[in-house]
Chain A
Amino acid sequence: MKSYKLYYIMLTLLLLLLFVLNICLGAVNIPLGDVLQSLFGGGGNEVHDVILSHSRLPQAITATMSGAALAISGLMLQTLFSNPLASPSILGISSGASVGVAVVTLLLGGSISAVGIAGHLAVTFGAVIGAFFILALILLFSMRVKNNVMLLIVGIMLGYVTSSVVSLLSFLATSEGVYSFVMWGLGNFSAVSSQNLYYFVGLISFALLIAILLIKPLNGLLLGEEYCENLGVNVKKTRMLIIISTGLLTSVVTAFCGPISFIGLATPHIARLMLGTSNHKHLLPTTILIGACVTLICNLLSNTIGGDIVVPINVITPFLGAPVIIYVIVNKNKIPYFNQ
């Protein structure tokens, strides 16, 4: 039990360190002293003040929340479908959100960065509708298709269908709209302005809270649906709540930051490998912490490795995520949670 405490402390410290690094480093490096002065005292370097309050701080908070959100969505989907390869992007949920965003931005001719809070609301709304639509379809198929691999293939097929819809919409849209949509698709944590931040953090926190309240029934699901029911868990209600929570988390993050890949898929595996258990009591909080850390690392790299150029997030996440998944699959027989 004590060893878990150590993990929490270490991960929290790492999270704080990464958060500070994300604030300090970038195209312009701001010394820690200036950061503290600007945050608590004021009256420091005015340029630094503006960069901090309008760019670095919102971006670091957005990355932290998005990482936690995507990681926890991945974990819940993996448990719900009892499939270690389930994730918002693989099951096509992110693509569903993309279609929603595409409809709003391309069809209505808006550009994501230009529109104000009303536009953001419309984009979020579109993403939510799209994500929930795909989630509902996946759920429907999951009742018929009991085989896990087959279900993943259904998810991938749905992803293809949605991307063909997106292609059609792009074809019909203005070049400005297409450019803005492509940029959005590369992933970016800087699109949440400080005004939108409260609304973003509020929605994510609400959905994370649902996830935390689901720890007990999620553990029941590890045994399988019938055993879970025999433990007195209302499986239907639990499934509904998991869907609502993951749908909300994925669609809000996707609407603001684009379809971020691999965080949702890889993070729960890192957490399980680290803790050596599938018990959500520790796995869920740890996944939140690791998700936030991994995403902050990605954001840091995106802001620093290209010098003055910001490298898109989705260029970086596969380099961190794919090796984890390959490692897990190659060592499948040695990893307890991978076998029944």
Chain B
Amino acid sequence: MIEAKDLTIGYSLSRTRKKIVHTTLNFKIESGELTALLGANGVGKSTLIKTLSGFIPALGGEVLIDARRFDSYTKLEMAKAVGVVLTKRPVDGGLTIYDLVALGRHPYTNYFGVLSKVDVDVVEYAIEQLGISHLRSSYISQVSDGERQKAMIAKIIAQECKTIILDEPTAFLDVKSRLETYSLLRQVARDLNKTVVLSTHDLEATLRYADRLMILSSTHGVVCGATEDMVLSGDIKRLFDERDDSKVLFDVSSGMFHIRQEGSELVSVEGSSDAVYWLKNALVRNGYKPVMERSSECKAHIEARGVGEFVVNASVTVGSISEAVRFIGL
């Protein structure tokens, strides 16, 4: 568990000058859950991640890791308690994946870093858990971004840290590896009862896999809550600055943000849920505002009867969404 009490984060520029990014942050990150830290660019996500990882000191307040003050940990205890995965790659690609995961045992091995029987077992377990056994003798520089990210997570598992902090772990990954990584982290948090917190911009995957959201904004500091509650309560809108509020709309039913378009015309829709979902998507992109109720204010009405059958204004039948949208634009 990570707990922050009146935490001030920022950078010390010199002995006397400080750049304060946030003050009085209070939050709790529980174990056994996957927590996602969201926030617009430049709002201080990285600063918060670095502070929680111990790379930069807190400028005020305190951080408790498993109910113990952060600064009371020695370097070695810290290494055993908190594992960090950064966006940076390892600087040298000449280690094998096995060597990389085995480096996770660093805090436990003797002066020369010799792996004991227990260490080897733990490394094997971590490699097994992440399903990267087939990569054990590949070099870091030869595997894909997704595979390398898995190996970094395996290294943290081998490090046996109760708390795992990841800075944008899926930034360079394709869709498949992204979803795999999230589901893996969720599984790690749940099955091994670890505290897993990651910063991300990937809202779609976050809403699907994160148990809790932590939204950092310049105006409200940190707002925390269970994912679905944050969506329904509208707290998720804090992702954007106040002045942007008017432009960005959050659609609770789809879990997506849209850019508001001025003077949009209403189009009523009905039909099977899958088709309606994507029909609405196309309408919003083309500057219409889809509604479910038919009224006199609507410019047009589209009924989705099935795949490849859309009826516009109860009269014209077209074969695709794009044709339907083009038709009402005429």
A-B complex is real: yes
For residue B308, give the distance in angstroms from its CB to the closest CB of chain A: 48
**Contact, CB under 8 Å: B95 / A277:** yes
Q: Among the listed stretches B33-41, B72-80, B213-221, B288-296, which one makes contact with chain A, having 4 or more residues with CB under 8 Å of it?
A: B72-80
A277/B79 contact (C-beta < 8 A), A223-B103, A229-B55, A336-B141 known? no
Q: Which of A219, A226, A232, A335 contacts B107 (CB 8 A)?
A: A232
Report the separation of the CA atoms of residues A279 and B113 in the bound assembly, to the nearest whole angstrom.
11
A147 close to B (CB within 8 Å): no
How far is A234 from B90 in the complex, measured between Cα atoms in Å?
Answer: 18
| Residue among B54, B84, B113 having the largest count of chain A Cβ atoms under 10 Å | B113
A224/B91 contact (C-beta < 8 A), A230-B79, A231-B106, A233-B106 known: yes
Residues of chain A at interface, number, CB under 8 A: 30
* B26 interfacial contact with A, CB 8 Å: no
How far, in angstroms, from A338 to B159 measured CA to CA in the complex? Answer: 26
- Give the interface size bracket for B toward A: 35 or more
Considering only residues 213-247 of chain A, those with a C-beta below 8 Å from chain B are 213, 215-216, 219-224, 226-227, 229-234
Min CB–CB distance A215 → chain B (angstroms): 6
Q: Report whether A277 and B96 are in contact in the complex, using a CB–CB cutoff of 8 Å.
A: yes
A3 contacts chain B at the CB level, 8 A cutoff: no
Is B55 in contact with A215, judged by CB distance below 8 angstroms? no
Interface residue A8 (Cβ < 8 Å from any Cβ of B):
no
Check B107–A340 contact: CB distance below 8 A: no
Residues from 135 to 172 in A contacting B, C-beta threshold 8 Å = none
In angstroms, how far is the closest chain A Cβ from the Cβ of B91? 4
B142 pairs with A227, CB closer than 8 A: no
Determine which of B53, B94, B106 lies in contact with A232 in the assembled complex, contact meaning CB atoms within 8 Å: B106
Contact: B75 with A232, CB < 8 Å?
A: yes
Give per-residue flags for B61-98: 1 if the beta carbon is below 8 A from chain A beta carbons, else 0.
00000000000000110111011101011111111100
Q: A residues within 8 A CB of B75?
A: 229, 232-234
Question: What chain A residues lie within 8 Å of B211 (beta carbons)?
Answer: none
Q: What chain A residues lie within 8 Å of B141 (beta carbons)?
A: 336-340
A277/B53 in contact, CB under 8 A: no
Please judge, given known A-B contacts A232-B79, A232-B106, whether A226 and B96 are in contact too, CB under 8 Å.
no
Report yes or no: B92 in contact with A82, Cβ–Cβ below 8 A: yes
In the bound complex, CA of A231 to CA of B81 (Å): 10
Contacts of B55 in A (CB 8 A): 226, 229
Cβ contacts under 8 Å, B27 to chain A: none
* Interface pair A277/B82, CB less than 8 Å apart: no
Known A213-B111, A215-B113, A339-B141: A227·B106 in contact at CB below 8 Å: no
Q: Is A336 within 8 A of B142, CB to CB? A: yes
What are 13 of the A-B contact pairs (CB < 8 Å)? A79-B92, A213-B111, A220-B106, A224-B89, A226-B55, A229-B54, A230-B82, A231-B107, A278-B95, A336-B94, A337-B139, A337-B141, A340-B140
What would 4 more interface pairs be, CB under 8 Å, given A222-B92, A224-B91, A340-B140? A223-B100, A224-B90, A279-B99, A340-B141
Interface residues of B (CB under 8 A from A): 53-55, 75-76, 78-80, 82-84, 86, 88-96, 99-100, 103-104, 106-107, 109, 111-113, 139-142, 159
Interface set of A (CB-CB < 8 Å, partner B): 79, 82, 213, 215-216, 219-224, 226-227, 229-234, 272, 277-279, 281, 335-340
